Chain A
């Protein structure tokens, strides 16, 4: 199978103006991925499926990922020097930068005919609140049907063109998207003998320590 760079170049030649970005995976698995622009994602997916050299006819896995907004602090250190050139002190300038959060949908594609893969493609939403619509790839690969419904249920990604977009794992009246990182589960804590980690916080909230005995 050709590598991802060749696939990207072919895609860019075939679909002028499409956004196709190669995303490198720094880990040892070296499963790199292609980030597709939302506008032409479905055409590209169709092309990947039907191209005689690739024939990625089997979408194995479709899943969502939540990337919440991340705050970074950049520190710039500038030494303040006197006339002789000796360092007096170091000025630290801190700037805060926030990378916006977004939701991501990842598809792992294989070819049953050519027996190769995986080719990983990604779609990203604009943000995590109101621009959460991506084109559904269920018309291209039917195996995405339930998996996209699951992403809609648990992450709140809206799939445009999905024939039956309903909640699948939680009940219909449920309002939250529990797989998001900022989801807070309903508090039904009960006493545990050895709380630790996140449970310890809940334990403290439910069973506050008694005030220290006042010494007369």
Chain B
């Protein structure tokens, strides 16, 4: 502490203040316990942060002693826009929350509005929703595994496989809804279009062939030595901390907590289907990877049952109103099990065409609560893999 420049507190303001203002990506910091440390700013432009996420990492050598996530680089004012538009007008915005899974976002929002207005949904629409949601889950998990391997350093190959298969799914989404990614398909009281038998046949064919792809994918990846070395025992999350921090989705189940909203709430028609909820034992990155693979297999089972049982009929409740929709004053919180975890919408109506409060409970945002706990004591390279296994989409994190 001889150098007054370094010793004086003004030379190094609090990291939090500098974290958002400083243009510097690497700078030395002094910590009275650890001595000289290095603060590295990863992001917002970083190939491994899945978008514009930023982590301010304090390093002791190569080991992480502190990690602060910085949000807001994709804060698109979703909630404010939702309060300034009609209930139906928010539906296309929900597509852009988690832009890999627009169908489940639509469903969560439609479910919340249906709760708010007491709107029933026809039987066929429930089946269509389940089919689309499970297809979305397949797409999301496939891509996540691809991105996770990108973070492990495979440079694109698993992602190419995943996107090859994803194209088949989003072709079906496009033929049904008109858009590849932003489907804008669910409505309050049903769905926008009634899928034709040919479309359902095409889904059936794709789903029946999916386990073969999954076998190929797993053969390529699951036993891989690098995967095992880089993920087993990395980023462990205890079940107590997972529950306390509100983690949901595959990440929670990888820690050994059997909580799936499809089972717990039984929303839609999920109680009719026979499927299991895979649960991990260690809560490490490898378990989080395996959860995705196992969930895809369960989703295939749900899809096969739904495609077998889907009844004929309308997909839109004839009494539902889309234009001039004014629900009675009240509030509702509707949630579903999205591919990333619990996605919920909290709406307050004051009887006007616009919601008084429109809130999105985004799974990736809350799942990031424990990113520091999982990364402490690991290297930077591990933090990249851990972040990849959390499965974030920035449109949803920052909204």
Interface of B is mostly: mixed
Residue B245 interfacial (CB < 8 Å): yes
Interface centre among A28, A59, A145, A198 (most CB of B within 10 A): A28
Please determine whether A170 and B72 come into contact, CB atoms closer than 8 angstroms. Answer: yes
Interface size class of A (residues with CB under 8 A): 35 or more
Q: Across the interface, which residues of A come within 8 angstroms of B162, CB to CB?
A: none
Residue A131, interface by CB 8 Å:
no
Query: For chain B, which range describes its interface: under 10, 10 to 19, 20 to 34, or 35 or more residues?
Result: 35 or more
CA of A31 to CA of B330, assembled, Å: 9
State A172–B398 Cα separation when bound (angstroms).
16
**Contact in complex: A28, B359 (CB < 8 Å):** no
> Whole-angstrom distance from the CB of B342 to the nearest CB of chain A?
6
How far is A65 from B243 in the complex, measured between Cα atoms in Å? 26
| CB-based contact B72/A143 at 8 Å | no
> Counting chain B CB atoms within 10 Å of each CB, which of A60, A147, A154, A198 scores highest?
A60
Known: A58-B246, A106-B346. A25 touches B330 (CB 8 A): yes
Is A77 positioned at the interface, with any CB of B under 8 Å from its CB? no
Q: CA of A179 to CA of B83 in the docked complex: distance in angstroms?
A: 9
Near A by CB (< 8 A), chain B positions 353-399 give 356-357, 359, 361, 365-366, 368-370, 398
Chain B min CB distance to A16 (Å) = 29
Q: Are B243 and A112 in contact (CB under 8 A)?
A: yes
Distance of A208 Cα from B162 Cα, bound (Å): 54
Q: For the complex, is B10 an interface residue (Cβ under 8 Å from A)?
A: no
- In this assembly, does B115 line the interface, its C-beta being within 8 Å of a C-beta of chain A? yes
Give the residue of A31, A58, A145, A168 whose beta carbon is less than 8 angstroms from that of B331: A31
Contact of B20 among A106, A164, A171 (CB under 8 A): A171
B contact residues around A145 at 8 Å (CB): 245, 369
Sample of 29 A–B contacts (CB below 8 Å): A27-B329, A27-B332, A29-B332, A29-B333, A31-B331, A60-B246, A60-B342, A60-B361, A63-B359, A63-B361, A65-B348, A65-B357, A108-B346, A112-B259, A115-B259, A142-B244, A142-B245, A143-B246, A143-B369, A146-B365, A146-B366, A146-B368, A164-B16, A166-B16, A169-B71, A171-B20, A171-B72, A173-B21, A178-B77
